[in-house]
Structure 1
Amino acid sequence: MAVHGTVAAGFEGVREEFALFLADEEHAPGAQLVVHQRGERVVDLWSEGVTGETLLGVFSSTKGAAYLVTALLVQDGVLDLDRTVASYWPDFAAEGKGGITLRELLAHRAGVIGLDAGFTPQELADDRAIAALLAGQRPFWQPGQFFGYHGYVIGALVGEVVFRATGRTLQEWYEERIRAPYGLDLWLGLPESEEPRFLSTLPMLPTPEQQAEIDASPYSPYSLGGIAFNEHAPDSVELEDFANSRLVRAKGQASAGGIGSARGLAGMYAAAAFGLNGDGPLLKPDTAAEFARVHSEGNDLVSGSQKAFGLGFSAIGCLFDSVGAGAFGHSGAAGSLALADPRQGYAYAYTRRRYAYPGGAAPENERLLWSVVRALG
């Protein structure tokens, strides 16, 4: 499969690794890969089936935008990490949640992973609707004692704190402070005018071995994982189809409803950590370090696997050996991954159109990241 785009001198090995992956992948997706070395774009590649300007559902990579807004408001002194959520949003104190701090919420320690009855598709597309319903929800574990991925709802919960503190939605802050000033192709609320550039997510095509693993795995929709991903709801939507809904794209649900490209994701992390277009970095070093610092590590109650989180952001350095300590970013269900690595001086973003097995950062990210680090020397 042909590779399109450009790389700067010294980054030819990244292009070669991208091409090798596409040749090896039985069901090669339409994929995009962009790398910034500090403020300069040094890799801009895409495969057949997409272009560099194609917009895709980035699923939970959306969360990086939500956390960046939150970090900026903390940096500005508008939000205090150690104040309770209920001090901003009184209704949230119901069912024993009054002591949960914003720091604990961001670290996925609140236990408010979903709704007992589940959400309708219309509710799940709307952050304000999610927040209103979760205000009265009891936690699924003792808050602060454990952690688990709040996959569909963390953006709505944090976004409601932002709204109560400022009178403006997280999406409005993102548009004003981040997307519009840098012209980023990463949208929390895709305008109708941009719809022609969007390509829907394609379903996963597991290998026979992967399908056998899926078939053999007992899984209840009423488990913590099932509730967190709304699988117990009567009219639950498959996660791979979430961003294929125009309602989700229009609302810009801040947990998983973002639409963008690798250019947009990499540009956002470059702007956050290093600066972009001649401007300085959005985050001061102390702010970036605090949000990247590991706050939750070990067994994730929702996924049942080992995870590591900073404040919202994934602690990427704990997940990939090639990534430096203090890196921050997030992956998305279709296989995307985006991050900034301040110590090694780069921002990285990878997207793909076909849903990757088993979800989260697609396996090829490991090889692609290593090729970037090698190119950096």
Structure 2
Amino acid sequence: MSAAPPAQGAQGVQGTVAPGFAQVRAAFERALARHPEPVGAQLAVRHHGRVVVDLWAPDTTADTVTGLFSVAKGVAHLVGALAVQDGAVDLARPVAHYWPAFAAEGKGAVTVGTLWSHGAGLVAVPQGFGVDELADDAALAELLAGQRPWWRPGDGYGYHALVVGALVAEVVRRATGATLAELYAERVREPFGVDLHLGLPEADRARLAPVTRAAGAPGPRRAPVPLAEATLMELAFNQHAAEPTDVVGLASDPRVHAGGPSSSGAFGTARGVAALYAAAISGSGSRPALLAASTAAGLATPRQAGRDVVTGEPDHFGAGFERIASRFAAAPAGAFGHSGAAGALGFADPGSGIAYGYARSLFGAGGGAAPENGLLVAAVTRAAAQADEDAATMPR
């Protein structure tokens, strides 16, 4: 990346941007300045595979690892998309074709596409999950195979917050004979040098910044919500369990570090998140993009339109991935990716060639992608569009 040497800006921002992307640095500084307390944040962007933004500030470094929570779902869905592209999995087939036990409780006709796009109604089990189970994809899959859906599959969709990665992983394992973590390491993380893991390797623990709560963010629930009174949101976030899940606590739990659950167990850097999505749509060096253009083009298309019955968000999901434009209006319509509970966001847009990674270690009141992503996504989208326009008009 051709840019000035790393320098510290007025808001403590460090790092570099490529020519034409200065507005992204300015937006990052404005975003951080809006916070009443320090935010350890990182922003990394690749454009057609080239690094164009690499920023961090103020209480972190470029190599600091943090808990990225549901960014793990983007990993799971990318591996799932590769299994579909390879012909190992067919989204139109019943899940029970690959996983016979899944047919229990009237689920025999539920397709893989419905399951992966949060339509199967399997957000919880009545007794709730312990952390040992939440950290173990195989244990979650076994419990959910016998579960009756909380709504009729196909009649709606709702965010399977703590379990969808395990459901994707079980279908992939049964169809390919390899675990999702094995395929991720072999096909994506190792060949593309992606600094993003399912779980936290022991070698990276010295780089970990703990996730802290912002002022005013809710603390953990002290007592479970009675099952008969629990909303779908409370069920999906395991608030009816004997020990209600504290999402923030998952990032520091050794069981999550060791298990690497593919719904909530991502750990890495913004550079790693951007590298993941660049590998998907642009490739790196001599390595081609992981996804064919025809595969990538459909990942942001809603499989079920309407309002998410868990979160209330409209047109929330495509083929498993979150539709980024449903949350941030400035995002390109074809952008697909996933957010994480402490504010993280990663996505790719095949049309513009943007691969975006944002990470921070401060858990806000709302969870999911932090609001500042709206400002940052808008700046990145404008800069990328201008760069493409300039490239198109340059003499050849």
- TM-score interval, normalised by the smaller of the two chains: over 0.9
Q: Is contact 2:302–2:315 with CA below 8 Å preserved after alignment? A: no
- Matched residue count: 369
Q: Which residue of 2 aligns with 1:309?
A: 317
Q: Which residue of 2 aligns with 1:59?
A: 69
Q: Which residue of 2 aligns with 1:198?
A: 208
CA RMSD after TM alignment: 1.7
Cα deviation, residue 34, structure 1: 0.3
After the TM superposition, which segments of 4 or more aligned residues of structure 1 sit over 6 Å from their partners?
218-221
Q: Is contact 1:329–1:339 with CA below 8 Å preserved after alignment? A: yes
Whole-angstrom distance in 2 between the partners of 1:222 and 1:174: 35
Q: Is contact 2:38–2:59 with CA below 8 Å preserved after alignment? A: no
Q: Is contact 2:42–2:270 with CA below 8 Å preserved after alignment? A: yes
Q: Which residue of 1 aligns with 2:93?
A: 83
1:40 to 34, 50, 54: 50
Whole-angstrom distance in 2 between the partners of 1:319 and 1:30: 23
Q: Which residue of 1 aligns with 2:394?
A: none
Cα deviation, residue 28, structure 1: 2.9
2:174 to 142, 153, 164: 164
1:72 to 76, 82, 86: 82
Compute the TM-score of the two structures, normalised by the length of structure 1.
Answer: 0.94
Q: Which residue of 2 aligns with 1:266?
A: 274
Q: Which residue of 2 aligns with 1:246?
A: 254
- Unaligned residue ranges in structure 1 (runs of 5+): 212-217
* Alignment of 1:108 onto 2:112: no
Q: Which residue of 1 aligns with 2:292?
A: 284
Cα deviation, residue 319, structure 1: 2.4
Whole-angstrom distance in 1 between the partners of 2:284 and 2:152: 42
Cα deviation, residue 122, structure 1: 0.7
* Alignment of 1:353 onto 2:323: no
2:102 to 84, 92, 95: 92
Cα deviation, residue 299, structure 1: 1.5
* Alignment of 1:330 onto 2:309: no
* Alignment of 1:235 onto 2:215: no
SS of 1:58's equivalent in the other structure is strand
Q: Deviations over 1:86-141 (max 9, x none)?
A: 11111111101111100101111100111111011111110000001111110000
SS of 2:90's equivalent in the other structure is coil
Whole-angstrom distance in 2 between the partners of 1:305 and 1:40: 33
AA paired with 1:330? H
Whole-angstrom distance in 1 between the partners of 2:242 and 2:226: 17
AA paired with 2:172? V
AA paired with 1:120? G
- Unaligned residue ranges in structure 2 (runs of 5+): 1-10, 219-224, 387-396
Q: Is contact 2:314–2:326 with CA below 8 Å preserved after alignment? A: no
Q: Which residue of 1 aligns with 2:391?
A: none
Whole-angstrom distance in 1 between the partners of 2:200 and 2:35: 31
* Alignment of 1:344 onto 2:352: yes
When structure 1 is superposed on structure 2, of 318-327 and 182-191 the one drifting more is 318-327
1:132 to 126, 136, 142: 142
Q: Is contact 2:49–2:353 with CA below 8 Å preserved after alignment? A: no
Q: Is contact 1:37–1:345 with CA below 8 Å preserved after alignment? A: yes
Cα deviation, residue 174, structure 1: 0.5
2:162 to 133, 143, 152: 152
AA paired with 1:184? V
AA paired with 2:306? G
Instruction: Classify 1:262/1:219 alpha carbon distance in 2 versus 1 (closer, same or farther; 3 Å).
Output: farther
Instruction: Classify 1:136/1:337 alpha carbon distance in 2 versus 1 (closer, same or farther; 3 Å).
Output: same
* Alignment of 1:223 onto 2:211: no
Cα deviation, residue 21, structure 1: 1.6
Q: Is contact 1:121–1:236 with CA below 8 Å preserved after alignment? A: no
Cα deviation, residue 290, structure 1: 2.4
SS of 2:115's equivalent in the other structure is helix
Percent of matched pairs sharing the same residue: 49
Q: Is contact 2:328–2:374 with CA below 8 Å preserved after alignment? A: yes
SS of 1:365's equivalent in the other structure is helix
Cα deviation, residue 185, structure 1: 0.6
Whole-angstrom distance in 2 between the partners of 1:18 and 1:136: 46
Whole-angstrom distance in 2 between the partners of 1:227 and 1:176: 34
Whole-angstrom distance in 2 between the partners of 1:312 and 1:149: 10
AA paired with 1:150? H
* Alignment of 1:14 onto 2:24: yes
* Alignment of 1:117 onto 2:127: yes
Q: Is contact 1:182–1:277 with CA below 8 Å preserved after alignment? A: no
AA paired with 1:283? L
Compute the TM-score of the two structures, normalised by the length of structure 2.
Answer: 0.90
Cα deviation, residue 278, structure 1: 2.8
Q: Deviations over 1:201-221 (max 9, x none)?
A: 111322xxx88xxxxxx9987
Whole-angstrom distance in 1 between the partners of 2:45 and 2:182: 27
SS of 1:113's equivalent in the other structure is coil
SS of 1:6's equivalent in the other structure is strand
Q: Deviations over 1:117-170 (max 9, x none)?
A: 101111111000000111111000001111100010000011111111122111
Whole-angstrom distance in 2 between the partners of 1:296 and 1:54: 37
Q: Is contact 2:93–2:111 with CA below 8 Å preserved after alignment? A: yes
Whole-angstrom distance in 1 between the partners of 2:79 and 2:313: 28
* Alignment of 1:184 onto 2:194: yes
Whole-angstrom distance in 2 between the partners of 1:307 and 1:26: 32
Q: Which residue of 2 aligns with 1:293?
A: 301
